[in-house]
Homo-oligomer: A and B are copies of this chain.
Amino acid sequence: MEDFISKFRGLGFKLTPQRIAILTFLDGNTGHPTAEEIFAAVRQEYPTVSFATVYNTLQALSDRGQLTEVTIDPERKHFDPNTDPHHHAMCSECEKIVDVFVDYSETLSLPDTVSGEFNVTGNHVEFYGVCGDCAE
A interface, CB within 8 angstroms of B: 69, 71, 74, 77, 89, 91-92, 98-102, 104, 107-108, 110-111, 114, 116-132, 135
Residue of B nearest to A109 (CB): B102
- B-chain residues with CB within 8 Å of residue A114 when the two chains form the complex: 89, 98-100
CB distance from A17 to the nearest CB of B (A): 30
Q: Which residues of B contact A101 (CB under 8 A)?
A: 111
CB nearest to A92 among chain B residues: B121
Which residue on B lies nearest to A89, using beta carbons? B118
Known: A100-B111, A110-B100. A89 touches B128 (CB 8 A): no
Bound CA span A71–B126, Å: 11
On chain B, the residues within 8 Å of A91 by CB distance are 118
Query: B111 contacts A119, CB within 8 Å?
Result: no
A119 adjacent to B123 (CB under 8 Å): no
Contact check, A118 vs B132: say whether CB atoms are below 8 A apart: yes
Chain B residues closer than 8 Å to A107, beta-carbon distance = 104, 107-108
